[in-house]
Amino acid sequence: MARDFRELLETKWDEGKFLCVGLDSDLVKIPEAAQKEDTRTTMVAFNRAIIDATKTVVCAYKPNPAFYEARGEEGYAALRETIAYILDVAPDIPVILDAKRGDILSTNEQYAISAFEHLRADAITVHPYLGAEPLKPFFDREERGIIVLCHTSNPGAKEMQNLSVDGGEQLYKYVARSAAERWNAKGNCSLMVGATYPEELGEVRSIVGDMPILVAGVGAQNGDLEKTVQRGLDSRRRGLIVNASRSVIFASKGEDFAEIAGARARELDSKIRESL
């Protein structure tokens, strides 16, 4: 039976787990203690150590392929091996490929094959700039999670995302409404909203009801965790995937990097639970 992203998430929410660890494994930031004989081995060894240290408290892992593609063939092989390792040692934890894909229909067909068949991710982030029609190859994968960028966490997000569109509604709200009312026919659509914009997060939640929301920007970007939880939870007190990347995986530069990453993940898990 194929893995189902939403079912995997619901099981984790049943366990009270909302933390997602982003595996943005920048090679130049990997501690000396994790350095091996080549790029692929180094990245895989580092990721395995982080996964082993955090797998008891997370609801998902989120590798960003940019950090792997930048290292050529060895980096891409490391990404594949990292996802394979998660599927092996933590098969109940979904993997989100934070690729932010979005192109014309024929190109997206290839992106979907790469993400879901070659890399074996359970979900992918996409952007809606080309409209809903070219996203069909993603949404057609009913068992996968399709996470649409809605209001991102970066400082310049408002430049485009807060523009008024037809009727005066801000663009990010229009995206949220479109996702809830038109794009979620198969029940596999989710949204991404930055924790650095808690007001907008609350507005998106009011628009989309109980759809899952991936929240980025907790940690290195200083998003407010308590506000994120309070404004992002759905009517069932679920619905959130709270991501932290650099603040967890690079919490220590020493030999204790995995131990400290695990402690940081447990700390964030506790803070999320306190805010529920």
Annotated active-site positions, please? 100
Q: What sign for the dihedral angle of Cα 124, 201, 215, 70?
A: positive
Nearest alpha carbon to residue 250 among 48, 47, 29:
29
On whether the CB atoms of residues 257 and 52 are closer than 8 A, the answer is: no
Tokens of 121: 């991710």
Sheet holding 213-216, edge to edge: 58-61, 19-21, 240-244, 213-216, 189-194, 145-151, 123-126, 96-101
CA distance 13 to 229: 13
**Contacts of 168 by beta carbon, 8 Å cutoff, 6+ apart:** none
Q: Is 217 strand, coil or helix?
A: coil
215 has which bridge partners? 193, 242
CB atoms within 10 A of CB 55: 17
Count Cβ atoms below 10 Å from residue 33 Cβ, excluding itself: 15
Cite the DSSP H helix spans in the chain.
Answer: 5-14, 39-54, 66-69, 72-89, 105-113, 136-139, 158-161, 171-178, 198-208, 225-232, 246-249, 257-275
What length does the chain have? 276
Q: Which of 97, 101, 120 is nearest to 3 (CA)?
A: 120
